[in-house]
Amino acid sequence: MWGHSIAMSSSPPVIQIEHIHKSFGGVHALIDVQMEVYAGEVHAHLGENGAGKSTLIKTMTGVYQPDRGEIYLRGDPVHLRNFGRK
């Protein structure tokens, strides 16, 4: 069914985002973002310019470090780092 997702597994999400916050100076780009993605799911991030879509993806991939919150990969906490890439 389009636009509907049911986790059919008892395994943990492939990626889980919990209470992520990211600010740039006085601009709060992400405030308490939470998300779970299970194997086989497809997600889309939609929103207006400046809504935080790119910031979320860059935080999930280690380009940016979250100010607060945790990222889990298959249930294990991860701390992704951007090793000098710009």
pLDDT digits (tens, 9 = 90+) for 3-43: 445 555 578 899 999 999 999 999 999 999 999 999 999 99
Q: Give the tokens for residue 37.
A: 């993605």
| Fold (CATH) for 15-78 | Rossmann fold (3.40.50)
Per-domain residue ranges of the chain: 15-78
- Residue 78 predicted with pLDDT over 80: yes
Instruction: Read off the pLDDT of each residue in 66-72 and give the average, rounded to a whole number.
Output: 96
* pLDDT higher at 30 or 82: 30
Whole-number Å distance between alpha carbons of 62 and 66: 9
**So what's the pLDDT on residue 6?**
53
* Sheet-wide strand order for 68-73: 27-37, 15-24, 68-73, 76-78
pLDDT band at 2 (very low <50, low <70, confident <90, very high): very low
Question: What sign does the dihedral 16-30-53-60 (CA atoms) show?
Answer: negative
